[in-house]
Amino acid sequence: MGVPEDRPIDTAYYHTVELPALPTRDRNIVPECWIEAPPTLLSLGDDLGGPLVAFKRRIGRWLLWRAGPAVKSHARYLALDSEDLSRQFVFRLWPDGKGEGTGPDGVVYARFRTWKEALRDSG
């Protein structure tokens, strides 16, 4: 359904257990509609100029959110442990395609894909 940022905002309210496992390709779930959203998520894109922050998917026990567009721009991903919302990991993307983020294993990753694999493999 086109560019993710152009998808309609889902105005339903969700508890953690209700956030979908698979990517939402027809709508955007925003942090304000997640009842248990921690403050770090609510301010995730503030320093990026306030871009859309939206839920992307679950990766195992991790809830993946993104502030900003997926490509050719500044963006930030936040992974939150659905069982302990204080466990949080960030991956930052820059317009040139480079990125950096620490995974739950303590390793600093330069590739988004390997960062997501570390989330998946952390159990």
120 membership: H or E segment, kind and range? helix 112-121
37 and 44 Cβ atoms separated by less than 8 Å = no
Q: What is the pLDDT of residues 32-76, one digit of tens each?
A: 999 999 999 999 989 888 778 999 999 999 999 999 987 778 899
**What is the structure's pLDDT at 52?**
87
User: Considering its fold, how many domains does the chain have in total?
Assistant: 1
d(CA 79, CA 63): 5
77 phi/psi in degrees, rounded to 5:
-105, 140
**What is the structure's pLDDT at 67?**
95
Residue 82 per-residue DSSP state? T
115 and 108 Cβ atoms separated by less than 8 Å = no
**What is the structure's pLDDT at 2?**
62
The parent domain of residue 62 ranges over 4-121
In this prediction the pTM is 0.92
